[in-house]
Amino acid sequence: MSRVKLLDKEFELSIPEEKLLKAVDQVAEQMNVELADKNPLMVCVLNGSFMFASDLMKRLNFPCEISFVKLSSYAGTGSTGQVKELIGLNENLEGRTVVLLEDIVDTGLTIINTVDQVKQMGPEDVKVATMLFKPDACKRDVKLDYVGMEIPNDFIVGYGLDYDGYGRNLKDIYTVVE
């Protein structure tokens, strides 16, 4: 399937599943070395990261837990703009290494806000893993510990990412046809 139509837009295949899974392999290999004795809590930031989190977790060979969180659509304004409230993280984070799992870091705003909120819960360390990173869109200083792949600043869907709710189920990534 080299083209798909979602709602009013056409998308063409840009990153095949094989390439995505190779990138997940590499992230997992790095984690298997660096996090082996950390007993980390992996935190999947819904919705987009469910597919990355699932593929990644299957490849980790050390003791770890996973929790799933959401960000409220809107919860006030902070120094970095709109602040979304983190919902669903009920674990005691004191002394824990927390690894946030994101599908994509675009402008960087979401991950910066999320890291700030997790830090306030007293963990020993907060790390960030993102499947995709758009360096040309991200003007903020974001510390990314694990990056699957860097991608151009195009509108994409698939592998968890959506266009207006659709396309998350595609196993490959597709780029909008202008």
Binding mask 48-87 for ligand PRP (x = CB under 6 A): x---------------------------------------
Spatial separation of the C-alpha atoms in residues 20 and 10, rounded to whole Å:
21
Whether 154 sits among the annotated catalytic residues: the reply is: no
Q: Are strands 125-133 and 97-105 parallel, antiparallel or unpaired?
A: parallel
Spatial separation of the C-alpha atoms in residues 164 and 178, rounded to whole Å:
17
Q: Which of residues 99-158 bind ligand PRP (CB under 6 A)?
A: 102-110
CA distances from 177 to 4, 28, 125, 154 (A): 10, 32, 41, 10
Closer to ligand PRP by CB, 48 or 123: give it.
Answer: 48
Choices 11-19, 32-40, 45-53, 115-123; region in contact with ligand PRP by CB under 6 A: 45-53
28 belongs to the binding site for ligand PRP (CB under 6 A):
no
- Nearest approach in angstroms of CB 114 to ligand PRP is 8
Token look-up 């082996």 returns 36
| Apex 149 CA angle, 87 and 2, nearest 5 | 100
Closer to ligand PRP by CB, 103 or 172: give it.
Answer: 103
Closer to ligand PRP by CB, 72 or 120: give it.
Answer: 72
Closer to ligand PRP by CB, 37 or 141: give it.
Answer: 141
Q: Report the residue from 47, 54, 67, 175 that binds ligand PRP according to the rule CB under 6 A.
A: 47
Spatial separation of the C-alpha atoms in residues 157 and 87, rounded to whole Å:
25
Say if CB 26 and CB 148 are below 8 A apart.
yes
Question: What are the catalytic residues?
Answer: 106
Q: Which residues bind ligand PRP (CB under 6 A)?
A: 45, 47-48, 102-110, 162
